[in-house]
Structure 1
Amino acid sequence: MSDVDNLLNAEQSALAKDQEIERILGCCQWDYFDLLEIDPNEQDIPLKVKKTFRRKTLLVHPDKVSNKKAPVAFDRIKRAERVLSVNPETTSESDKPLLVERERLLAIYKDASTRADQKNKKQIVKLVEEILNDEIKSEQIEKDFERRQEANKIEELNKIRKERELKKKLESKWEDDRDVRVSNWRKYTSKVEKKNTKSKKVKKKVLA
């Protein structure tokens, strides 16, 4: 093979990698079947996923591609591989959320297939994307609401804590100033008594 042929092959390979990266980034990031180009009706999905992922890794792995977008594309198909490879029979506790995610995606595809032309895969994928985006948006709104509720709760607890701390400081200061208050009161009563005694003596002298 000549140098020209090698150069052309290299250019074609680079073009194919760039095209695959752009395709992945153009997919809905939560549609793992579309990311890996796998039919959800496949008989042995986990096996198909492993083979497909291995093949696509050669096209988008950051260590094998110079494209700056490769890391994002690889992360997406890696996530797809993790979710779709989960075995319901041997799923660990930590992987259960992945299984739930896969089952949800399968249910969405089933719903989309009944609402669209089953022969039109693009139409089904588009509908799946719309459903996923709506669900993710709803989940995000719910999470934002929960975060606000939690923030308000924390703010209220902090307010109560500060009020308690202030109350303790005031009580402590009141107790610390007790001796001063007693001393001042004694001085005051002593002055009053002396004044009253002096006043009485003056009155007696006038009467005499």
Structure 2
Amino acid sequence: MPIKEELEKEVKEEGGGKDELEALDALEKEAAEYNKDAEIDRILKAFKLDAYAVLDLQPGVPESEIKVCYRKKSLLIHPDKTDNPRAPDAFDRLKKAQTELMDEKQRARLDESIADARMLLIRERKLTVDSEEVKNPDKEFKEAWRRKTVEVLVDNEHRRRKQLKAQMQEEGREQKKADEETEVRKRKREHEVAWEQTREGRIGSWRDFQQKGKEGGGEKKKKKMKVLG
């Protein structure tokens, strides 16, 4: 029997009234809000690059467990179900973690990082995969593994951002070059259009010049043929 029902039964058996039942309901709501606040706090404190940590799951769990876990936690901390102002941020982070783990490629990259962290820890401690400490890890080893996973994920994220920055810079240079080439072609077209638009004017001016030249030449010729008396 659920705890609430047991308490309600005890209150009724002891002759408790409406006030005591209402107090019991208020206590239950307070406990529920405490659980919501605690889960919201846990999610926001979890290392956000580790989707398993955000969902509070162990690496390698099946997809069905991921779905069940997400469904329970999302219902618990949904912004519509609590007045906690940090609920939206926690809910978004929870959703992002679930999406990442449900994506085969993203989950594979995360699993690879976690495996790399384990191997680094084994080497640092001069152990082997057959060492008892590795085969049956205690709480201390698991915590050290988690810390090493954080280091690996941070390092991978730094490299990813560096590569992205270099890629964006290269794309920026290529875009700048393309823009410059486009501008050159644009100016060339504008020059050709302007040249074509003034073509008739230039031809007309040349014709006028030739016509005036002919007229001037005829007058000079007539003057030379004039006989002086």
- Normalised-by-shorter TM-score class: 0.7 to 0.9
Alpha-carbon distance change, 185 to 65 in structure 1, aligned in 2, over 3 angstroms: same
Q: Please say if 1:64 is aligned against 2:64.
A: no
Gaps of 5+ in 2: 1-7, 9-19, 123-136
Contact 2:116 2:152 in 1 (8 A): no
1:146 is matched with which residue: 140, 153, 167? 167
Q: Please say if 1:12 is aligned against 2:17.
A: no
Contact 1:34 1:125 in 2 (8 A): no
Q: Please say if 1:38 is aligned against 2:57.
A: yes
1:134 is matched with which residue: 155, 165, 185? 155
SS of residue paired to 2:47 = coil
Query: Counterpart of 1:62 in structure 2: which amino acid?
Result: P
| Shift, 1:29, TM fit | 1.7
Q: 1:8-40 deviations in whole A, cap 9, x for unaligned?
A: 332222122112111111112221111122222
SS of residue paired to 2:57 = coil
Contact 2:52 2:97 in 1 (8 A): yes
Between the two proteins, the alignment pairs up a number of residues equal to 194
Cα distance in 2 for partners of 1:181, 1:175 equals 10
TM-score by length of 1: 0.77
1:93 corresponding residue in structure 2: none
TM-score by length of 2: 0.71
Query: Counterpart of 1:131 in structure 2: which amino acid?
Result: V
Alpha-carbon distance change, 157 to 207 in structure 1, aligned in 2, over 3 angstroms: farther
Contact 2:40 2:87 in 1 (8 A): yes
SS of residue paired to 2:58 = coil
Cα distance in 2 for partners of 1:116, 1:35 equals 22
SS of residue paired to 1:68 = coil
1:165 corresponding residue in structure 2: 186
Cα distance in 2 for partners of 1:133, 1:207 equals 110
Query: Counterpart of 2:105 in structure 1: which amino acid?
Result: V
